[in-house]
Structure 1
């Protein structure tokens, strides 16, 4: 999907998913609870350890940055970047530097990092391919790029019609509003191969939607926050969204939604 944006096009976090929204910290925390196990496994697989210099782009609540700080120890360095760092203010680890910046405008010295990590960032950037090319320059030779984005592999096959319809409308709404591309993660690892990275790989983390799960809570808060945008698509009614919210909370629900597609490659 290619999205053309004018100079005033809305970006993720400008209004929709703004960190000032009352439920945004809880929403991101629920997302982290669902996705962090997969992220940690993929990062561990790349060998992250003492002394590494790591860049965490779109750091959110800082859950990955904090975990990385533990892995690299006092001799390592974590740079956590987000356009709004209010959720990172509680980071106390001395080897973490918090940077408030538009990640697409920030620049770092070539070859500075052993690892660059970004989760659910590229899919929301209109200039994702150009930005990815810049990111590779920040890696040292032998450094790893690890990127994760969503692919909705679950909801199209759900038995619940309201859930299927609501999620399809949601993805349409964020694409129209933010330029998000839910198909980008399904292209991995080709974008990394095109940039000349080696040791390519792809992993999938597929959290189960069940009452009380992190991913179910994340979707509840996401749909409540984006309700008007989803309704504006004209594809679903308020009753359909409400039925979906009940389905997410029902103790009998066992379903799937997004998969976290993670790709990695090593700079040669």
Structure 2
């Protein structure tokens, strides 16, 4: 049995012990690669609480965290550091939603997180079948690049809502795109994956098309601001995986957006000839 399969077999046993825990978040400044990453101290069930549907979400959050931790233990933070950073920050977001009682929002984010972790696992399995993920030789260079990844990720995933039936980028987000392009120009190894989203108004075919148009419009402005087109991939999820559930004007506005992943997979060279 390989290491990854063994870790998966352990998840249920580990969960049984973790469900009994009752502590708090780490102190500020002790979050590791993702500053506010909620670690195993986050308890999925509080002892004084009656059981309810929210506990299933907390259980799912813990499963996702254990999945992410197992990928990190196998070296994902070295082969795919940007993906790990963003997955950790997504775990933080879900934890905050759970603590705030935002059950539907947490459920949406858990679906997104599971998909991203499954994709990361497939990529990692492929790399580890031929090599191993090793820490970078130049620690300061790696740290500097991860700061760029985090800065760009936060810069491009806010204030990008679109008007109804429109692919036009709003002026505030246009400034974010220009700033991100300037940050990324000296770092050619960093790429972007831009996914367009639509609200639930309209047909599925139309929403798929307009969401794709939003992603392509973001790519267009990034290239105008100086990034090579080959560094930017575009995708569309249409109305699938909304950021929030509901049909109010505010929720629909928020769901008309792009989500952007920052990809920096080649920060360290895998040691060839070493397999699992």
Q: Do the two structures share a fold, i.e. TM-score over 0.5? A: no
- Class of the TM-score when normalised by the shorter of the 2 chains: 0.3 to 0.5
Larger % of strand: which?
1
Larger % of helix: which?
2
TM-score (norm 2): 0.33
TM-score (norm 1): 0.33
